[in-house]
Amino acid sequence: MGSLKSLALAGALALGASAAAQAADLAYAPPPPPPEPLGLKGTITSGVYLRGDIGVGVQSIGKYQQDDVTQYGGSFFGGSKSNAAFFGGLGIGYRFNNWFRADITGEYRGSSSIGVNDTIYNPFARGPQTNTYKGNLTSLVTLFNGYIDLGTWNCLTPYIGGGIGFANNRIEGLTDQGIVYANYPNGPISPTLGSAASGSKTGLAWALMAGVGYEVNKNLTLEFGYRYLNLGDARSGRITNAFAAETYAPLKAKDIDSHDFRIGMRWNFGDPNCCGTPEPVAYAPPPVVRKY
């Protein structure tokens, strides 16, 4: 009986030691990985970025001016003052933090039609004369822009901004078709025809803008936006009469502006993930527990 009791006591001690060892193993399980840092979902870290934009603008001309028309007491009427212009641009910028960024952009605005009519008194023909001007307007625009991002919700970041710079506006292919009523009202009617070489004018440009960015990932953001752009003035070259050895003052387009609708993208280079795979995080191994 004594030996049976001894065997039972030894078995109980062995079972207790095994349970204690298993409990020790459970107490030292590997810790879970640390949670991701808190922050706005989709927010891109600051850094250098490239941008590209395309869009269409509804351009308007405030008024037309031509010195000969003014000199002889004429006036402009009718014609085209608003036309669509397609544009594309590139830029480089820097995002300083989650709410402010700035960039410099350059864009080309494609040809848009311009045109207007005038009526003047022609002192040489002693009668009225009407003219119809038609041409094309193109622009090169450089802007220094600043933006305020208004916070990110579900990867969408609304923004507002403004820009200032300069625009080079060029009038090309200008023609001047007219009719002269000599010795009005009983005199003959004769056509006139003129053309102008290309002319350009560079001046101040400025913009106001608003839109929303969609952050596809930590590096790529798509933008959809509206922009009001003031382009300044444009002018043609001097107008040459096709039937006589005469030249006239250039046609001027004043107070050009545009309501632009843009689609763009930004590629951010400031995030470390863009330059390589981040170093893996090392975790301390669990302590070794000797089992008895």
Cβ contacts of 140 within 8 Å, gap of 6 or more = 106, 107, 108, 109, 167, 168
pLDDT in tens, 112-147: 999 999 998 888 778 888 999 999 999 999 999 999
Amino acid identity of residue 140, one-letter, is L
Q: How confident is the model at residue 106 (pLDDT cuts 50, 70, 90)?
A: very high
pLDDT for 287: 65
The residue with greater pLDDT, 290 or 216, is 216
Torsion of CA 73, 77, 79, 82, to 10 degrees: 110
- Segment (H or E) for 17: helix 2-27
- Segment (H or E) for 132: strand 127-149
pLDDT in tens, 243-269: 878 889 999 999 999 999 999 999 998
Neighbouring CB atoms inside 10 A of 55's CB total: 21
Least confident range from 24-33, 95-104, 124-133, 147-156: namely 24-33
Q: What is the mean pLDDT of residues 37-59?
A: 74
> Alpha carbon 265 to chain centroid distance?
8
Tell me the backbone φ, ψ of residue 27, rounded to 5 degrees: -70, -25
Looking at residue 292, what DSSP letter applies? Answer: -
pLDDT for 271: 52
pLDDT in tens, 136-189: 999 999 999 999 999 989 999 999 999 999 999 999 999 999 898 888 777 788
Q: Cα separations (Å) of 39 from 35, 49, 148, 218, 274? A: 12, 21, 18, 13, 19
pLDDT for 26: 47
Q: How confident is the model at residue 273 (pLDDT cuts 50, 70, 90)?
A: very low
Read off the tokens for 266.
Answer: 């930004």
Q: What is the mean pLDDT of residues 13-42?
A: 52
Is residue 80 predicted with pLDDT exceeding 50? yes
The residue with greater pLDDT, 220 or 187, is 220
Residue tagged 């590139």 (tokens): 90
> Alpha carbon 234 to chain centroid distance?
23
Q: How many CA atoms lie within 13 A of 4 on its CB side?
A: 1
pLDDT for 274: 39
pLDDT for 139: 97
Q: How confident is the model at residue 34 (pLDDT cuts 50, 70, 90)?
A: low
- Which percentage of the chain shows pLDDT scores above 90? 55
Average pLDDT, the chain: 83
pLDDT for 276: 42
Least confident range from 73-77, 226-230, 276-280: namely 276-280
